[in-house]
Amino acid sequence: MMKMLLGCSVSLLLLLICLTEPVESRILHLDSCSVNVHMHELRKYYSGIRSNAISEDSEIGVKLLDKSLMKDVQEGQMCCFMRLVLRFYVERVFSNYASSHPQQQRCSSALANSFVSIRREIHKCHCLCEEETQRKIDSVHAEFIKLQISQAAQKAVGELDTVLEWLEGQKTQA
């Protein structure tokens, strides 16, 4: 009983700290589209689930998001690519990702909500997608559906570092 109270108290304290932190916002420039991204927040939420997602990934030989896939996005397709990646994570990954730990559930939910917010802003831009960009995301979907859905979601969450690193490498303005 005491451990449970202590665990709840620590969780509540962490939540209060998170709510009182100053929010670091950056304007991310994706072609002609500019969106507000809270990278610190994304990293914080991801750090809450990263180790579990990676340690429970049983499909070590499979890679969904290769860094070369992200690096080779054509000029003029950054907005489209990000919109499609966010859509993939919101619709396919977070909806199928499950953790038995309440703190990790909160972190994945907060991360999903952050992705939804960014996605909402990108939708206002009306990015046009070329066939090559769509093919890249289709290849991610193809690898995803080869796996059992919960394993695929686990793997995709474990590979979020690739997405966050790509975001951090884009042109930003504080």
pTM of the model: 0.81
Q: What confidence score (pLDDT) does residue 24 get?
A: 66
Q: Hey, what amino acid is at 56?
A: E
Q: What confidence score (pLDDT) does residue 1 get?
A: 54
Contact 127, 139 (CB under 8 A): no
Q: Hey, what amino acid is at 82?
A: M
Q: What confidence score (pLDDT) does residue 41 get?
A: 92
Q: What confidence score (pLDDT) does residue 130 get?
A: 94
Contact 103, 45 (CB under 8 A): no
d(CA 138, CA 47): 27
The pLDDT profile of the chain, 174 residues, written as one tens digit per residue, is: 545 444 444 454 444 444 444 456 788 888 888 999 999 999 999 998 888 888 888 888 888 988 888 888 888 999 999 999 999 999 999 999 888 788 888 999 999 999 999 999 999 998 899 999 999 999 999 999 999 999 999 999 999 999 999 888 886 655
Strand stretches in the chain, DSSP E: 26-30, 33-37, 172-173
Q: What confidence score (pLDDT) does residue 173 get?
A: 59
166: Cα separation from own chain's centroid = 11
Domains of the chain: 24-169 (1.20.1250.10)
